[in-house]
Structure formats: C-alpha cells, structure tokens
Amino acid sequence: MPESFLKEQLERIKKLTERISAVEGQRERLADEMAHDREAMHRTPLHEVRDYRPYSPPREVEPRSSARDSSSRRRRRRR
C-alpha cells in the first residue's frame, strides 16, 4: 500500500509540474502580447509618416512692456 501511495503522489507531482510549465509558457506569451499591444497604443496611423516641410526656426517673441502695468492695475482693482 505505501508503494502505490508513493506512485500516485509521483504521478500527481508530474502532472502538476506539467501544468505549471504550461501556465508559465502562457504567461510568457501573454506578456509578449501585452508589450506589443502597449507599443501599438502609442502609435497612430501617422506614426510612420514623414514631414517634408522645410524647417524654419520659431520667431523670437519680444516681451511686452505693458505686462507689468497690467498686473499692477489688477492689484489696484482688487483693493
């Protein structure tokens, strides 16, 4: 009787080991699919399109001299 019990336990352990291996394989495949999906989420249909417009540097914006005056006016109005 003890031998049959040990054989049953060994068979049970083998089956569980096989199931664990199968689950780990599924987990790896799902992790790869999720990584691929995450990359695809960040892409748009225009992701591969190139912009052939000529580049021109942005114009420099001159600071407005009236910015200080308008802020002091606002303070005066609040009082």
* 3-35 exposure pattern, b = at least 16 Cβ within 10 A, e = fewer: eeeeeeeeeeeeeeeeeeeeeeeeeeeeeeeee
**Average pLDDT across the chain, whole number:** 80
Q: Quick: pLDDT tens for 15-37.
A: 999 999 999 999 999 999 999 88
pTM of the complete model: 0.45
Distance CA 14, CA 8 (A): 10
Confidence (pLDDT) at 66: 57
